[in-house]
Amino acid sequence: MTIICDTLEKKNKIGNEISILTKYPINSSIIVSPYISDLPDLINLSNIENLQIICNAESASCNPYTLLQLLKNKNIKIKSRHDIHAKIYVFDNIAFVTSANATNSGLKTGTIEAAVKLEDDYSIQEIKQWFTAIWNDNQTVDILNFDKSTWEKLKSNWNLSNKRSKKQSLYDLIVSKKIPENISFVFWYETKNTPDQDAVAKIAKEENIFELPDNNESWNYWIEDKKYSKKTNTFQLLKAQLQKYYTHTMINLKTDPEINKIYQIDSFPSRLLDTPITLKWEGKTLLLSLYRKDNINSNIIIDKNTTALLNISRKKNEKAWIKYLASDDGKFGFCSKEQLYKLVKDCILA
């Protein structure tokens, strides 16, 4: 038995020993590590005839892209279980029982690790029997059985947890169901011959509804209803929706009039004001939503994958969309994150 400890000066002593071992042909190898990432850069896989790996693939710290890369090699079999925490490496008749995950941080210079190196037959046999029992347990799942939606979720979780910057993809947030609290959405479309901001601001001031921001760049509006009628109480319905979402940051999803296609996402979210406005314009009564643009969540990246996902859902989950559009939220295009999850349920990109 040999004790190997990384030092402050040399944090890759364990990884270096393992790397040297795999420079030579290995008949049978075992790796147990909750987190797997960049493994082909850490050991020479081409010299290992048979490799079995147990990891925790569902962890956001386990790289699904690396796992998919490893699966291309027919000599490598990978299983996953959620409660695995051991880190063990066996190469024929040499084993390392260690604290180091099979990642750059664990086996290179990221963290200080320690290991026990074992070479006696009894210890190796004990480890292999232990491994076989876990490998054959019904809670240890072959990752070849993961479906596309599972892989998509694993990728999204990895992307969100391993961004070098604080930027987050909206698509990843939707797929992994990690949209931040108080983030909601509104579907809207452009109409022609609408009043300009000055006209809206003038009416808002004259009607003494509320005081708009002095800077025109910090507020805007959209038309909710061209045929506003007091009989349908549309004004009160809209007011209730604006109040409901008042504290939320809204992400605007641009659509066609029937929301049959989402073709653009605005790069700015908006904080809504809690009072709608009615005004006459070119002989028609319009009901408007006014909103601020000064509550910007710049950490969310608006991506094309989101529009693609939503457009797939319009066809696949048509019944869910019909139900949503008939609701109070749907009548005005408002959509909570919980509602959005329902609309895109079981929808993945090819």
- Tokens at residue 304, please? 């094309």
My answer on whether 117 and 229 are in the same domain is: no
Assess if residue 255 is contained within a domain: yes
Task: Identify the CATH number of the domain in which residue 88 sits.
Answer: 3.30.870.10
- Collapsing DSSP to helix, strand or coil, 163 comes out as coil
Assess if residue 151 is contained within a domain: no
My answer on whether 164 and 115 are in the same domain is: no
Assess if residue 41 is contained within a domain: yes
C-alpha torsion sign, points 243, 248, 252, 253? negative
The domain in which residue 184 lies consists of: 160-343
Assess if residue 235 is contained within a domain: yes
Query: For the chain, what is the domain count?
Result: 2
Q: What long-range pairs does 256-262 form, CB within 8 A, spacing at least 24?
A: 256/189, 257/189, 259/187, 259/189, 259/314, 259/321, 259/325, 259/333, 260/314, 261/311, 261/314, 262/187, 262/307, 262/310, 262/311, 262/314
Q: State the CB neighbour count (10 A cutoff) for residue 219.
A: 21
Give the whole-angstrom CA distance, residue 242 versus residue 240: 6
My answer on whether 188 and 321 are in the same domain is: yes
Nearest to 285 by CA among 298, 276, 296, 274: 276
This prediction's pTM? 0.64
Question: What's the pLDDT score for residue 252?
Answer: 84
- Out of 118, 145, 172, pick the residue that ends a domain: 145
- Tokens at residue 292, please? 């601020």
Question: What's the pLDDT score for residue 228?
Answer: 64
- Tokens at residue 5, please? 């400890």
- Out of 90, 110, 145, pick the residue that ends a domain: 145
Question: What's the pLDDT score for residue 210?
Answer: 65
Question: What's the pLDDT score for residue 310?
Answer: 93
My answer on whether 94 and 222 are in the same domain is: no
Assess if residue 350 is contained within a domain: no
Assess if residue 348 is contained within a domain: no
Assess if residue 153 is contained within a domain: no
Give the whole-angstrom CA distance, residue 350 versus residue 348: 6
- Out of 122, 145, 168, pick the residue that ends a domain: 145
Q: Are 49 and 125 in contact (CB under 8 A)?
A: no
My answer on whether 105 and 185 are in the same domain is: no
My answer on whether 129 and 200 are in the same domain is: no
My answer on whether 48 and 178 are in the same domain is: no
Give the whole-angstrom CA distance, residue 279 versus residue 285: 6
My answer on whether 291 and 215 are in the same domain is: yes
My answer on whether 92 and 213 are in the same domain is: no
Q: Along the 350 residues of the chain, how does pLDDT read in single tens digits?
A: 899 888 877 888 898 898 898 889 999 999 999 999 989 888 889 899 999 999 999 998 999 999 999 999 999 999 999 999 999 999 999 999 999 999 988 998 778 999 999 999 999 999 999 999 999 999 999 999 999 888 988 988 888 877 655 677 888 889 888 888 878 898 888 777 788 888 888 877 776 666 777 777 778 888 887 776 666 688 888 888 888 888 788 888 889 888 888 887 776 677 777 778 888 888 788 888 888 776 555 577 778 889 999 999 999 999 999 999 999 999 889 999 999 999 999 988 86
Question: What's the pLDDT score for residue 301?
Answer: 76
Assess if residue 82 is contained within a domain: yes
Q: Are 184 and 199 in contact (CB under 8 A)?
A: no
My answer on whether 141 and 184 are in the same domain is: no
My answer on whether 111 and 58 are in the same domain is: yes
Give the whole-angstrom CA distance, residue 256 versus residue 191: 10
Question: What's the pLDDT score for residue 28?
Answer: 93
Report which DSSP code applies to 242. Answer: H
Phi–psi pair at 4, nearest 5 degrees = -120, 125
- Collapsing DSSP to helix, strand or coil, 39 comes out as helix
Q: State the CB neighbour count (10 A cutoff) for residue 115.
A: 24
Nearest to 335 by CA among 244, 208, 260, 261: 244
Q: Are 29 and 90 in contact (CB under 8 A)?
A: yes
Q: State the CB neighbour count (10 A cutoff) for residue 220.
A: 16
My answer on whether 283 and 254 are in the same domain is: yes
| Kind plus residue range of the DSSP H or E element containing 78 | strand 76-80
CA distances from 323 to 105, 240, 275, 320, 328 (A): 48, 19, 26, 5, 10
Question: What's the pLDDT score for residue 170?
Answer: 87
